[in-house]
A and B are shown apart, each in its own frame.
Chain A
Amino acid sequence: MNASNSEETVFGAALRLAPAERANYLDQACGGDAALRQRVEGLLNAYQQAENFLETPAAPTLPLARTAWVPLAEKAGDKIGRYKLLQQIGEGGCGVVYMAEQEEPVRRRVALKVIKLGMDTKQVIARFEAERQALAMMDHPNIAKVFDAGATETGRPYFVMELVRGVKITDYCDEKKLPIRQRLDLFIQVCQAIQHAHQKGVIHRDIKPSNILVTVNDGVPVPKVIDFGIAKATGGQRLTDKTVFTAFEQFIGTPAYMSPEQAVITSLDIDTRSDIYALGVLLYELLTGQTPFDSKQLLAVGLDEMRRTIREQEPERPSTRLSTLADDKLSTTAQRRGLDSPKFISELRGDLDCVVMKALEKDRARRYETANGLAMDIQHHLNNEPVVARPPSNLYRFQKLVRRNKLAFAAATAVAAALLIGFGVSTWMFFRERAARREQVRLREFAEANEKKARLEATRSRRLTGLLKDTLRDFMRHEGFYFASTEEALVAASDHIETELQAPEMAGEFENDLKADFEINLGALSLRRRLEGLMEVHNYAEVDKVLQDVSVQESASQARNAPVLQVRATFQARRGRFREAARDISKLIEIDRKDFTYYYVLAPLSAANGDLPGYRQLCKEMLARFGGTKDPSVAERAAKACSIVPPLESDLNRIAQLAELAVTGKEVGDNNLPWWQFAEGLVEYRRKHYESAAGWMQKALIPIPFRYSVDNYRFCPAYMVLAMTNYRLGQVDSARAAFAKGVELSERTLPDFGSEDLGVHWYDVLIAHTLMLEAKGLLEEKTAAQTETLLQHALMLEAKGLLQGKAEKTAETK
């Protein structure tokens, strides 16, 4: 913005002068900045020629023809992007759905949903892009995949999804006259789908019957949840008179599915438990044929009253609700479930009443903590076991009950944990791989231990005890985020031991340890959720206030501070306070010198802080500790982290070996290969192997399918290295071209360096900018003309005190 401001100021001043005086003025005003001068002259020239350009408004008067006021609409036969519309298959308050055909890269039929006019397309797409990673990771038979999003030619956002040919779950159940048990079976599958999404960090936000379609495969009904990510991208539904009332005719049911926290006007923190509420409403409707609050009645009482009802009024229990129905309505509803009226009511009374009401609790802390919890409780009911929802319960009985249920919790995948921590794109991949690797190692070690000794003996061995503890810690650290109460987490953890290691007698021993760990994690999680919510609405003042108030108890065991420190470091970095972030990460290293992640995350922070001695010391330590790694993903990260600024000559060989290991350890066709190739290329550049570096960078510049938005975080730094490489090879023109490309891409797609929020990929942004400054310096040795925008970046860095030493230098040259 400043760039165009100075341009505007100089232009404005020049315009007021007589043409003859302008040259003199421009000499003075632009100083040595030839580019600025050229631009202003161009503008003055254009101004002369523009004459009356734009002076007549586009529509001094508007035609009164009706068509002029009807927004352009798509129709069958039209092409949107690479999709050809075949036929309209649905229409709702929020948009129109078409069946469409995709031709490339694969030929397939998809569902394409065009959102109605009146939304800010760019923001919708930006919000979708922000969640794309998470959406892409969802892989579940009961979830319709979301493939793509974009803007139509008429400027409306659209989403492309897996085509599901099915009917609304409520319609399907009624048409088939499904009995209660089969309805519950379908519902459990829906819960499992939602649980999967929650584990990948995706909240649906708009669960309702029309978003759950049932298809029949080989005679087996399969529910599919559609529209993931769309409610969030389109801003969710906020209740206003207008939006509710205008949308309502097409949208019956939505207010009925709105959770109390969604009904609060300024509600920021929608979380997984809002989905649990909507699942409760769905269950209510599947069982009774009614929603807890009648949509028409909700609407009739007006908006404020509607909000109040959703927030405060307790709905009737399902069985009570049925007994108040008119006789004929009750018997029709019962018949649709293959029952007579009295049997129908008695089936719901008791367990199912309690389960539904627990999911519909106004206070979300009292709802089921996870979708799995809800599904499990229904399973209990089906197995004739007592349900959790039914008071009174105590921890012991609760545990016994849950343990009887062999619900397998997948081993700690840690994918989700990386999302939670948000250290950047490459970190995210790192976590995933490391988790997979650790899992293998652990299982192998366990198998070995098992072979040697009898199982009982083995559980006593210290090694296995340590292993168990680690396993559990890992589990709690990663999976623990998904449990909202200590009890549930403990039960899950105990199950985890039983199923994974067949050592039930070990479970109790660690409960106290785990309890403490878990509470710390929970605190960190809620802190993170709060900060993320505030960032999302750009309330940076509050973010800073929260960060300032974070208290880290020095007296407590240091390890306990880690989760909170991680969160604080992440958000300090996103806010551009690298010094503070670096301080927290240094503390984390003190706490756990064995965790490679911390070293690797600290590197670009130190570089950005201009703390070269600190950076080099860090690299030394990183190489000493992890230089001998056999793990290609650690090797790649270490090599890259140590090459952000030119490394010490003495470290180069070690770094090169790491980079080598990283690339050769990768299979061809691995989706992440270009990231690895970038690291190798960067290291080759540091070793002055310019030809080879250029080759690697060309490879790093190949897009990764379905990761396009993240590609830019690799492309920008890759162009910078390519620019420097070409420059060293004497190809100055291609060097400049690569540089310009990188700058343009960075300005267009990466968060601005001076912006309030560097985004979740701040790590990669830092590397990109550090390399950009280096490239700029190198290229400018010969080219006096400064690119103004770059100067801006440098100035911003200086303003932030990041380049202390260089600030004076620049001042002198001015």
Chain B
Amino acid sequence: MSDVARILNDIGRGDARAADELLPLVYEELRHLAAAKMALETPGQTLQPTALVHEAWLRLTGDENRRWNDRTHFFAAAAEAMRRILVDNARRKRAQRHGGRLVRVELDNANLATPSDDQVLAVNEALEKFAARNKQTAELVKLRYFVGLTLEEAAEVQGISATTAKRRWAYARAWLFQEIRAQRS
């Protein structure tokens, strides 16, 4: 049994400490996967976070038919890992913009539809506050915003109904919007 599968079993059995172990593994796996892809593909190409996370899931658990709550824990860890990667990335770019270090900027060919770094950082900050009062909904936001799952996919992963997901999503959007606006004013 792979490490991740074992940890998921431990979590399933209620071993709270196991959850701590999951994140570093998933984080590293995502980075390794991305690095492997980079070696193969031409520079300037992009990859989809959703696809990346799905692939990590298959590789790490080696089994598509695990219980849904395994998937919940795994995707929660993956979403957290993606959040860190993206927030790190945004911070780095901002530091460079503010006359930080002179390094070769080989970052992105930024797609204009992509939210700005400032938005990513602002959402991240507000989300931390939100998570303190409503952890599960915050997880939903991470899955949707940082991994790029559709609302239906996120609902499935979390094991909640689409209606519930929709209500929570609307609430979170309104709450976060209000929070960010308040911070800026």
Contacts and interface: CB of A to CB of B under 8 A. Distances in A.
A796 to B, nearest CB: 16
B99 to A, nearest CB: 15
A62 B52 contact: yes
Given A61-B111, A64-B43, A72 B92 contact: yes
B48 A62 contact: yes
A350 interface: no
Interface in A6-41: 7-8, 11-12, 15
A146 B144 CA distance: 40
Interface string A233-263: 0010010111100100000000000000000
A58 B86 contact: yes
Given A57-B144, A69-B85, A242-B25, A64 B46 contact: yes
Given A56-B115, A58-B145, A537-B17, A64 B28 contact: no
A784 interface: no
Interface in B155-185: 167-168, 170-178, 181
Contact of A246 (B21, B28, B106, B174): B28
Given A155-B84, A266-B15, A68 B174 contact: no
Interface in A520-546: 537-539
A242 B28 contact: yes
A240 B35 CA distance: 23
B38 A8 contact: no
A63 B84 contact: no
Contact of B24 (A58, A62, A243): A243
B34 A12 contact: no
A326 interface: no
A118 B84 CA distance: 9
A58 B44 contact: no
B45 interface: yes
B87 interface: yes
B107 A65 contact: yes
Interface string A68-89: 1101100000000000000000
Contact of B48 (A43, A44, A47, A60): A60
Contacts of A63: 46, 107-110
A60 to B, nearest CB: 6
A15 B10 CA distance: 40
A668 interface: no
A305 interface: no
B145 A12 contact: no
Contact of B38 (A1, A4, A11, A66): A66
Given A64-B41, A238-B21, A57 B113 contact: no
Contacts of B14: 539
Interface in A109-134: 117-120, 123
Contacts of B24: 118-119, 242-243
Interface in B87-124: 87-89, 91-92, 103, 106-111, 113-115, 119-120, 123
A343 to B, nearest CB: 48
A44 B174 contact: yes
Given A50-B177, A72-B92, A117 B27 contact: yes
Interface residues of B, number: 73
A117 B28 CA distance: 9
B141 A54 contact: yes
Contacts of A551: none
B115 A1 contact: no
Contact of B170 (A12, A42, A49): A12
Given A59-B49, A153-B91, A238-B21, A46 B177 contact: yes
Nearest to A266: B15
B3 interface: yes
A117 B84 contact: yes
B59 to A, nearest CB: 12
Contact of A59 (B45, B123, B146, B176): B146
Contacts of B91: 72, 153-154
A67 interface: yes
Nearest to B113: A56
Nearest to B181: A46
B167 to A, nearest CB: 4
Contacts of B106: 65-67
Nearest to B88: A72
A47 B173 contact: yes
A581 to B, nearest CB: 25
B83 to A, nearest CB: 8
B87 A62 contact: no
Contacts of A235: 17, 20
Nearest to B170: A15
Contacts of B148: 57-60
Nearest to B172: A54
Given A68-B107, A240-B7, A57 B88 contact: no
A54 B176 contact: yes
A44 B177 CA distance: 11
B18 to A, nearest CB: 9
Contacts of A537: 15-17
Given A235-B20, A243-B24, A64 B134 contact: no
Q: Find the residue from B37, B92, B123 having the highest chain A CB count within 10 A.
A: B92
A53 interface: yes
A799 interface: no
B23 interface: yes
Contacts of B181: 46
Q: Find the residue from A7, A58, A123, A537 having the highest chain B CB count within 10 A.
A: A58
12 contacts: A47-B177, A58-B86, A63-B108, A63-B109, A64-B47, A67-B92, A118-B23, A120-B23, A155-B84, A240-B21, A241-B3, A246-B28
Given A61-B47, A153-B91, A155-B88, 9 more contacts: A7-B171, A46-B177, A54-B144, A58-B145, A62-B52, A64-B41, A67-B103, A71-B84, A118-B23
- Which 8 residue pairs are nearest across A and B when measured between Cβ atoms? A118-B24, A63-B108, A61-B46, A57-B148, A47-B174, A46-B178, A12-B167, A50-B177
Interface of A: 1, 3-5, 7-8, 11-12, 15, 42-44, 46-47, 49-50, 53-54, 56-69, 71-72, 117-120, 123, 153-155, 235, 238, 240-243, 246, 266, 537-539
